[in-house]
Structure 1
Amino acid sequence: MKLALLAACAGLLLTGCSTYQAVTPVDRLDPTDPVVAFQLPAGGGPLGNYGAHGTLLCVVVNPVSGNDFVEDFLSSLRRRNFEVKVLQAQTSIAACPMVALYTARGAWYWNAYLNNADITVFRNGDRVGKAIYNANRSAGGLNLSNFVQPSAKLDELVEQLFPGMLPPPPPPAGTGAAPAA
């Protein structure tokens, strides 16, 4: 009897989870090459060439709904060789060939965590990708989203938006070529 009561209580705690995540990846322009997959031709917009770092991605941060963890988001994009330019909040989505609208809010429950995020990517003014994350705890119950580092969750969302863009990891130390004698 006690075991059944304990199992029922545990079930009620676990059913209260309400984390939601949905991602529509950005369509690749060149599906065969992940390095140029999202690049537009050089000089393809009002900001001109994209430079040596990779594809230009302009980011518009929503100042009303919050801009928590924006540096983590920008770092995640830069690790994927995007050349990131942060634009003013009132900037049109047509200001750059690729624009990401970013809104995120953090919360605190034992430590800081990502409560919700909404990232929408536009290419030439057309919506081409979207990531939504919500770690809403208002339903009660056990929710482990507050144990996930915000940078890790944002990195996961960016990877799902732009799959395969991370450069390969460097070889482990000591596996390089042997010095010549």
Structure 2
Amino acid sequence: MYKAMLAAGLGLLITGCSTYQAVTPVDRPDHTDPLVAFQVPAGGGPLGNYGANGTLLCVVVNPVTGNDFVENFLSSLRRRNFEVKVLQAQTSIAACPVVALYTARSAWYWTAYLNSADITVFRNGDRVGKAIYNANRSAGGLNLSNFVQPSSKLDELVEQLFPGMLPPPPPPAGTAAPAA
């Protein structure tokens, strides 16, 4: 009887640990290779031609919320071969072909952690993807989200927003690249 009550109590404690996370992936304009699908046509649209791969993503950071971990977010986008351009907070979502609105807050519990994030992606002014994360929306109990590195959580959100865009890792040192 004691073991059953202990197991039930532990189960309730663990189920209360969840955080809220919801992601609607960005649908690609075509259903080809994800690295090609987001490229801006030659000429680069209203802001000119950016980068050899032409994959421009403009980011508008909300200045009101403190917006911690912006550099982690931008780095995650760059690892996916986006040419990132940070725009002024009042910039229209129509200023670039693809725009991400970024809002994030941190909190502190032994260390700084990502408390909430809201990333909304627009293509040509239309909303095409959204990621929401909130570490405080749990049903009580033990919340372990403050032990997750903010860069890891943001990278997870970006991967879910833009699935399949992370290039494969380079081959280990000392091994030859596969022949073409």
Instruction: Normalising by structure 2, report the TM-score.
Output: 0.90
1:43 aligned residue: 43
The alpha-carbon deviation at position 2 of structure 1 amounts to 2.9
Question: What SS is found at the alignment partner of 2:132?
Answer: strand
The alpha-carbon deviation at position 19 of structure 1 amounts to 0.5
The alpha-carbon deviation at position 28 of structure 1 amounts to 1.1
The alpha-carbon deviation at position 41 of structure 1 amounts to 1.2
Distance in structure 2 (CA, Å) of the matches to 1:28 and 1:167:
17
CA contact (8 A) 1:30 1:36 kept: no
The alpha-carbon deviation at position 5 of structure 1 amounts to 3.3
Q: Which runs of 5+ in 1 are unaligned?
A: none
Question: What SS is found at the alignment partner of 2:37?
Answer: coil
Query: Which one is further off, 2-11 or 152-161?
Result: 2-11
The alpha-carbon deviation at position 109 of structure 1 amounts to 1.6
The alpha-carbon deviation at position 59 of structure 1 amounts to 0.4
Structure 1 ranges of 4+ moved more than 3 A: 177-181
Distance in structure 2 (CA, Å) of the matches to 1:5 and 1:51:
61
CA contact (8 A) 2:41 2:54 kept: no
Instruction: Normalising by structure 1, report the TM-score.
Output: 0.90
The alpha-carbon deviation at position 167 of structure 1 amounts to 1.1
The alpha-carbon deviation at position 138 of structure 1 amounts to 6.3
In structure 2, do the counterparts of structure 1 residues 7 and 38 end up closer, same or farther at CA, with 3 Å as the change threshold?
same
In structure 2, do the counterparts of structure 1 residues 179 and 134 end up closer, same or farther at CA, with 3 Å as the change threshold?
closer
Identity percentage of aligned residues: 90
The alpha-carbon deviation at position 44 of structure 1 amounts to 4.7
The alpha-carbon deviation at position 30 of structure 1 amounts to 3.2
In structure 2, do the counterparts of structure 1 residues 178 and 135 end up closer, same or farther at CA, with 3 Å as the change threshold?
closer
Q: Which runs of 5+ in 2 are unaligned?
A: none
Distance in structure 1 (CA, Å) of the matches to 2:60 and 2:94:
12
Q: Does 1:76 align with 2:76?
A: yes
CA contact (8 A) 2:20 2:133 kept: yes
